[in-house]
Chains A and B, each alone.
Chain A
Amino acid sequence: MGVAIFLALLVAPEDSDQGISQRIFYIHVPIALTAYFCFGLGAWKALRLLVRGEERHDLESYVAIHQGTIFGVLTLVTGSIWAKASWGHWWLWSEDQLVLFLVLFLFYCAYFMLRFSLEEGPRRARSSAVYALFGVVLIPVSFLAIRLAEGLIHPTVFTRDGPQMSASMFATFCVAWAAVTLLAYVLYRVELVGKRLDADLHELREILR
């Protein structure tokens, strides 16, 4: 699966405009999409926890957001590499997506702070769930805000002509996307299994004592 990424990278078709630096697009964008997906999944699990009150959703929500944050950081890193290669700056405030990820990064770091400073139990589960829900609402709201702020700094009309990709570029992109999603899913399962095993072990030890 990891091989798929590199294959896609090496076989990736030439880009007329940006040359080699454009190739990071195949990693950067799937990672960003996966991060969004993880945040969304975390919020969905949080909603289930609040509505249904099933405790296992707490852990699932936490693990999904944990993965989302990891992929969010990767997005920031790959994004700034891309920015450096394309425009010669490590950081550009005019890059909506990057700024959004910075906001989200701060937000989800606060999420972890909240979790770690509450005593384990239903209150922590629900508080984190509520905060996770705020997170998914914050994503579109911040995006809108960043767009608006953008217009403040240099008022331009935003027309987003869709990414013009050749068929082979699109195929590469899809492969990369699938690979990253699969990677995220595997990491999610692994962390979840690990955490659950840990909890079970603890319970077992308590019973034996």
Chain B
Amino acid sequence: MIRARALEKRYGRKRVFAGIDLDLPADGFLVVTGANGSGKTTLLRVLTGLASATRGELRVEADRGRIGHLAHEPLVYRELSALENLDLFGRLYRVPERRERIGMLLERFGLWEARNERVAAYSRGMLQRLALCRTLLHDPDLLVLDEPFSALDEEGAALLDRELAELAGNRAFVVSTHDPARLAPLSTARLALT
């Protein structure tokens, strides 16, 4: 799914990371660890295509529309409701049977009751759940998740554990985390950034 050789990213004179080699099969689960500021987020952004690598070779065998990206920020409109947000993204991602899929996801992540509320009124944990819905909406082949457990409560984290366990095995995952032990049972590869 992903093949990278000597990948390097710099912003002008500032080097974020360098010399990254990656081989991720279509059912692989890569856990990315590293201290704050070690370039995890930037690496994930390069893999999704939001940022371009400065040097090196990168091949991602998934179209833009087949990648699901969970970022630090939830990537949803504050002034729209959860339903409206997902409906917009569902349109843009051309999700078949949009309404059913959105309803199912909202139900599963415990947001169905709050579906018509403006996102601005959501708590941080609810936002993260909505962001997960948005990431999974189009049933992507490659999931790039940046600290997916942040801001989730016990219940939400357990929910995400189950979700990941269910999806892992027939999709490619790149997940950055501060808590690699949590993902250890799923992970097939580790990358530690310094």
Contact = CB atoms under 8 A, between A and B. Distances in A.
Do chains A and B make direct contact within the complex (CB under 8 angstroms)?
Answer: yes
A120 B16 CA distance: 13
Interface in B49-104: 51-52, 54
A206 B12 contact: no
A199 B13 contact: yes
A121 interface: yes
Is chain A's interface secondary structure helix, strand, loop, or mixed overall? Answer: helix
A202 interface: yes
Contact of B13 (A53, A55, A124, A202): A202
A121 B10 CA distance: 7
Contacts of A53: 52
Is chain B's interface secondary structure helix, strand, loop, or mixed overall? Answer: loop
A120 B52 contact: no
Interface residues on B, range: under 10
Contacts of B14: 120
Interface in A175-204: 199, 202-203
Nearest to A207: B15
Contacts of A199: 13
Interface string B174-192: 0000000000000000000
A120 B15 contact: no
Interface in B2-44: 10-15
Contacts of A203: 13
A121 B15 contact: no
Contacts of A119: 11-12
A151 interface: no
B52 to A, nearest CB: 6
Given A121-B11, A202-B13, A206-B15, 6 more contacts: A55-B54, A119-B11, A119-B12, A120-B11, A120-B13, A124-B12
Interface of B: 10-15, 51-52, 54
